[in-house]
Amino acid sequence: MPHINTHPVLDISHLSVALPSSGDRRHAVIDLSLTIKPGEIVCVVGESGSGKSVTAQAIMGLLPKGQLIAERGTITLQGEDVLQATPDRLRELRGTRMAMIFQEPMTALNPVLTVGDQIAEMLAIHTDLSESEQRNRVLEMMKAVHLPDTERMIDCYPHQLSGGQRQRIMIAQALILDPALLIADEPTTALDVTTQAQILKLIKEMQERRGTGVLFITHDFGVVADIADRVVVMQHGNLVESGTRDEILLAPKMPYTQMLIASVPSLVPPHREPVNGPVALQTINLSKTYQGTGGFLDKGRIVKAADQVNLSLRRGETLGVVGESGSGKSTVARCIARLIDPSEGHILLDGLDIANLPEKSLRPHRRHVQVIFQDPFRSLNPRRTVGQSIIEGPMNFGLSEHDALNRARDLMELVGLSPDALSRFPHQFSGGQRQRISIARALAMQPHVLIADEAVSALDVSVQAQVLALLDDVRKRFDLALLFITHDLRVAAQICDRIMVMQKGKVVEEGATRALFANPQHAYTKALFEAAPGHDFTKR
Amino acid sequence: MTASPSPVADRPSRLQALLDLFRHNPLMMLSAMILLLLVLAAVFAPYLGTVDPRKIGVLRRMSPPSAQAWFGGDQLGRDLWTRAVYGARVSLMVGSVVAVMSISIGLLIGMISGYLRAFDAIIMRIMDGLMSIPGILLAIGLVSVSGASFATVTVAIMIPEIPRVVRLVRSIVLTVREEPYVEAAIAVGTPVPLILWRHILPNCIPPLIVQATYVAASAMLTEALLSFLGAGTPPEIPSWGNMMAEGRIVFPIAPWIVLIPGCTLAVAILAVNILGDGLRDRLDPKIAKRM
């Protein structure tokens, strides 16, 4: 039932949300005003800590009790102030007038209930339909979100579905009672890029058909370009700038917005000279097979995580390995670093095959291959100081503590941190700073090959740009061979000389970045480019 | 760009943290003080107005508590105050030795099983086997084979505790070994023993401290039970368990002979358990948040 009136579905006026006194700032959200009209998608964009999720929680009445308090302002949902609503009234409003979908569809669904039951729960609570009517409504809704084979899927448990299917279930659950407002908090961040494109399309379709107002929270400007009618940019709880999609993306007025948009890597690769250094790393038919632990006589399922992968990487060159989750890109990286043992094939490191070396003879060669991991919060031991973490490797190879510390100090400056920071613990640093520390730790080993395994994926876009620049800088400075694993085509376009696209453990296409982006050959590569969020927008 | 780290204060020292903990939890403070008193009593037993615990004084026979004999005398005329204080020695010794030994052995086996994985399946099946042995039965068996002694009792109580520790350690090691910082240590060539020591062990310590208190409490209880049954501490050494066993025949006439060691045992175990609960709430952040 499309709304004909143009009264806003949601009207937030001068909202301030206070943080507990122990927080690093007074307010999570300061004096925020925004409106959402029926059938409109408003994207709230900001980096971590900008207050965008707190805003969503405040609207849903889900602010953690006693920790975050909406101090001032009103949140008017179809003429009713939700900040004044009683808990009972809020419960009625949720589902019927407003609904929310979350980032992690696995944890947002109850693993011990069938998905059908979870959608039907909404009907059971808010309507008096009989069970068979409920089931029919659920089936109808599941068809509407384009789930296949709904008769069977309605009785499935969440773990039997893929991530994209789970997110569709979440959307079905959120929309089954036709709420006037849908809040989507980073709903596609945990999904692969091709799935993300489908889910974005679905949200847009549902919203157009039902006239729902959508508050879409994201950090990704590509997604904004694909889906937004209007955009609100937030920073540190403040509204920085708001306007239509084209106003914000094409002509941002505020310096912060300009900086954010400038930080988004372009999908158009710059020109790069081919690299002719000596080959530092080569794999020949590298394979990794996992055998499931089957039953007594059943041998279990065999999974080829990496299948006959051939790559070669020169000193001073950056090779991007691009693919979705499960494509085997991380498996290849971990085999090369010998964090897992390859099943077959050869890994030639400066000409020496290290694929099957036992740990003892491998150790001298470990220093030549170093890894930077994705999660900056888990890649440093929280109980050891930054200095201890950095000097651990060099001291394993016989450097004295004094010399190792001197090297660590130089490296800290090189990665843009103060050498005094060596005596501090990782929890005192931000994600971007920790990733710099990880880079310093890797460089302390004076490696020939540096593997960056989704090293910038967990970072905010402005920080990501800085860390990428740092990686490129150290590659040049130390003539490193950089193996860059990523799922993000934009990042790959900017930093890689050559790109290898992987799917289901196999390399499907390989080539110089510019040529590959200009003229992808394989159907899967084309699909990846097609799905990259905001790809139409960049080309304009 | 030079980014300076956020101005967060350094971690408070461990002593400071412990003092804070006690200040916020008076019950824990009380337990700690009771335990401290018990330990002091056990250590300085000969100087606390005690006599020879085996000395029989005819006049003291079943005498109620009085100014001369603070806790009275038992049915043989031995001084109950003396025997209660010396009994604390046995109880605390068994508790602490079993806790330290089973934690150390369990930690070692658990780390090998969880990290090296080579003998994982075999070790864990052996542990399953050990867990299925009832502790009391094993103790009675061991005592009847090798005679009642402190060492026998300790070993008998320790063996069934080890598998619990191994399982705990193994489960922690299995999660920590997948942490990127452990993989980073492997990548920079840190030898396995150092990885275990630097990166894995510190994660096992907090839960093991908590586990140690539970092991100690259960060991003290088991020792008393065994002594009560006559399969524990030999009769010439006073322990709370054999004091209760000897006194139970005359309970209707002289109930304090049973009640005094019974109360000390109950208080000691309660104190250890409260201390353990307090530490768990503090050291396990998942539970601590809910409090």
Convert A292-347 into a string of H (helix), E (strand) and C (coil): CCCCCCCCCCEEEEEEEEEEEEECCCEEEEECCCCCCHHHHHHHHCCCCCCCEEEE
Which residues of chain A are within 8 Å of residue B188 when distances are taken between CB atoms? 366-367, 370, 392-393, 396, 441, 444-445
Residue B54 distance to chain A (closest CA, Å): 52
Confidence of residue A439 (pLDDT cuts 50, 70, 90): very high
Has residue B2 got a pLDDT over 60?
A: no
Q: What's the rounded Cα separation, in Å, for the pair A305 and A356?
A: 18
pLDDT for the residue numbered B6: 41
Cβ of residue A421 closer than 8 Å to a chain B Cβ: yes
Partner-chain contact A416 B185, CB within 8 Å: no
Cβ of residue A387 closer than 8 Å to a chain B Cβ: no
Q: How many CB atoms sit inside 10 A of residue B128's CB?
A: 11
Lowest model confidence (mean pLDDT) among A162-166, A481-485, B180-184: A162-166
> CB-CB: which of A337, A379, A418 is closest to B2?
A418
Confidence of residue B199 (pLDDT cuts 50, 70, 90): very high
Q: What is the mean pLDDT of residues A455-462?
A: 86
Q: Read off the tokens for A221.
A: 């400007």
Cβ of residue A160 closer than 8 Å to a chain B Cβ: no
Q: Which of A23, A17, A1 is nearest to A59 (CA)?
A: A17
Confidence of residue B146 (pLDDT cuts 50, 70, 90): confident
Mutate to test the interface with A, among B8, B181, B195 (most CBs of A within 10 A): B181
Residue B213 or residue A105, greater confidence: B213
Q: What is the mean pLDDT of residues B150-178?
A: 90
First-last CA distance in chain A: 35
pLDDT tens-digit series, residues A507-519: 999 999 999 988 8
Q: What's the rounded Cα separation, in Å, for the pair B157 and B225?
A: 11
Partner-chain contact B184 A417, CB within 8 Å: no
Residue A408 distance to chain B (closest CA, Å): 14
Give CA separation, A253 vs A229, A256, A257, A390, in Å. Answer: 18, 9, 7, 42
pLDDT for the residue numbered B263: 92
Which residues of chain A are within 8 Å of residue B10 when distances are taken between CB atoms? 424-425
pLDDT tens-digit series, residues B151-161: 888 888 899 89
pLDDT tens-digit series, residues B4-41: 444 444 455 667 777 777 777 888 888 989 999 999 98
Which residues of chain A are within 8 Å of residue B184 when distances are taken between CB atoms? 371, 373, 379-380, 389, 438, 441
Q: If residue A290 lies in a helix (H) or strand (E), which one and from where to where?
A: strand A279-291
Cβ of residue B186 closer than 8 Å to a chain A Cβ: yes
Judge whether A302 and A248 are in contact, CB under 8 Å: no
Has residue A23 got a pLDDT over 70?
A: no
pLDDT for the residue numbered B143: 81
Cβ of residue B13 closer than 8 Å to a chain A Cβ: no
Partner-chain contact A421 B179, CB within 8 Å: no
pLDDT for the residue numbered A474: 93
As a residue count, chain A comes to 540
Has residue A539 got a pLDDT over 60?
A: no
Tell me what the pLDDT averaged over chain A comes to.
87
Residue A371 distance to chain B (closest CA, Å): 7
Q: What's the rounded Cα separation, in Å, for the pair A394 and B277?
A: 42
Q: Read off the tokens for A261.
A: 């948009």
Q: What's the rounded Cα separation, in Å, for the pair A136 and A329?
A: 42
Has residue A265 got a pLDDT over 90?
A: no
> CB-CB: which of A24, A363, A378 is closest to B180?
A378
Give CA separation, A341 vs A289, A358, B228, in Å. Answer: 10, 10, 57
Q: What is the mean pLDDT of residues B83-95?
A: 89
Confidence of residue A41 (pLDDT cuts 50, 70, 90): very high
Q: Strands A27-36 and A344-349, how do they pair? A: unpaired
Q: What's the rounded Cα separation, in Å, for the pair B73 and B57?
A: 9
Q: What's the rounded Cα separation, in Å, for the pair B139 and A284?
A: 61
> b/e for B216-228, b at 16 or more Cβ within 10 A?
bbbbbbbbbbbbb
pLDDT for the residue numbered A168: 87
Confidence of residue A3 (pLDDT cuts 50, 70, 90): very low
Has residue A85 got a pLDDT over 60?
A: yes
Q: What is the mean pLDDT of residues A453-468?
A: 88
Residue A373 distance to chain B (closest CA, Å): 7
pLDDT tens-digit series, residues A200-246: 888 888 888 888 899 999 988 888 988 899 999 999 888 999 999 88
pLDDT for the residue numbered B60: 72
* Most confidently modeled range among A139-153, A268-282, A476-490, B53-67: A476-490
pLDDT for the residue numbered B285: 57
Q: Read off the tokens for A339.
A: 């964090």
Confidence of residue B284 (pLDDT cuts 50, 70, 90): low
pTM of the model: 0.82
Cβ of residue B1 closer than 8 Å to a chain A Cβ: yes
Confidence of residue A297 (pLDDT cuts 50, 70, 90): low
Q: What's the rounded Cα separation, in Å, for the pair A522 and A509?
A: 6
Which residues of chain A are within 8 Å of residue B2 when distances are taken between CB atoms? 416-418
> b/e for A273-306, b at 16 or more Cβ within 10 A?
eebeeeebbbbbebbbeeeeeeeeeeeeeeebbb
Cβ of residue B291 closer than 8 Å to a chain A Cβ: no
Strand partners, A510: A500
pLDDT for the residue numbered A303: 81
Which residues of chain A are within 8 Å of residue B11 when distances are taken between CB atoms? 425
Cβ of residue A428 closer than 8 Å to a chain B Cβ: yes
Q: What's the rounded Cα separation, in Å, for the pair B249 and B87?
A: 20
DSSP assignment of B61-86: TTPPS-SSSTT-B-TT--BHHHHHHH
Percent of chain B with pLDDT over 70: 92
Judge whether A225 and A245 are in contact, CB under 8 Å: yes
pLDDT tens-digit series, residues A339-372: 989 999 999 998 889 988 888 888 888 999 999 9
Q: Read off the tokens for B166.
A: 């191994």
Partner-chain contact A396 B2, CB within 8 Å: no
> CB-CB: which of A397, A424, A466 is closest to B189?
A397
Judge whether A447 and A401 are in contact, CB under 8 Å: no
Has residue B276 got a pLDDT over 80?
A: yes
DSSP summary character for residue B3? B
Cβ of residue A67 closer than 8 Å to a chain B Cβ: no
Residues 6+ apart with CB under 8 A from A502: A309, A321, A322, A323, A327, A328, A329, A332, A508
B:35-94 residues touching chain A, CB 8 A cutoff: none
Q: Strands A98-101 and A181-185, how do they pair? A: parallel
Has residue A1 got a pLDDT over 50?
A: no
Tell me what the pLDDT averaged over chain B comes to.
84
pLDDT tens-digit series, residues B16-25: 777 777 777 8
Has residue A494 got a pLDDT over 80?
A: yes
> CB-CB: which of A378, A392, A428 is closest to B188?
A392
pLDDT for the residue numbered B165: 93
Partner-chain contact B181 A379, CB within 8 Å: yes
Q: What is the mean pLDDT of residues B37-52?
A: 84
Confidence of residue A298 (pLDDT cuts 50, 70, 90): low
pLDDT for the residue numbered A376: 86
